[in-house]
Structure 1
Amino acid sequence: MPMSADDLRAHLVEAFPDADIAIEDLAGDGDHYRARIVSEAFRGLNRVRQHQLVYAALKGKMGGELHALALETSAPAEAG
């Protein structure tokens, strides 16, 4: 069963309460999303570590309920 955008947002808000989050359903199927997350939690971290934090926030749902997630992550000062 696919993950709804609301469920995805809930996981991300729980992990990154200060974040500005934008989610786009890329295929209209609830399985392929793009998420842009701007959070202080990412400050000083490289892109790989930022993405690892996002995957951890999804609590094992990546690859199951959520098939594909294109990520754009940054700290507020880095956002463009």
Structure 2
Amino acid sequence: MMMARPAIEALIREAFPDADVIVTEVAGTGRHCGARIVSQVFLGKSRIEQHQMIYDALKGKITDMVQALVLETAVPKSYLQGKDQ
């Protein structure tokens, strides 16, 4: 079985090829991870919609590997220039 961090990163990169993705182990156990995903596809989406997109990308494939996943999603700053955010 793949370790959680590489598996999460691979699935997210597959779904969002343009994204900057950083996946870290939060508790050092390998079962608690955090992911920061920055992608233009999040533009105009609520935080809930953004996170749902990530969970859809993970396709339920990591449930046996990860106990907790903390998500941080964002739109690249270059896409926000000139907007009030």
The TM tier, using the shorter chain, reads: 0.7 to 0.9
Shift, 1:63, TM fit: 3.8
1:23 and 2:29 aligned = no
Q: Name the count of aligned residue pairs.
A: 78
Compared CA separation, residues 61 and 67, structure 1 to 2 (3 A): farther
Which of the pair has more CA radius of gyration? Answer: 2
Alignment of 1:1-80 (within 5 A): 3-77=3-77
- The normalised TM-score by structure 1 is 0.85
Identical amino acids, percent of aligned pairs: 47
State the TM-score, normalizing by the size of structure 2: 0.80
Runs of 4 or more consecutive aligned structure 1 residues displaced over 4 Å after TM superposition: none
Unaligned runs of 5+ in 2: 81-85
Using the TM superposition, give the Cα deviation of residue 62 of structure 1 relative to its aligned residue in structure 2, in angstroms.
5.0
* CA deviation profile, 1:39-79 (whole Å, cap 9, x unmatched): 0111110000000000011111354322211111011125x
Instruction: Give the direction of change, closer, same or farther, for the CA distance of 1:4–1:64 in structure 2 (3 Å limit).
Output: closer
Identify unmatched segments of 5+ residues in structure 1.
Answer: none
Which letter does structure 1 place at the counterpart of 2:44?
G
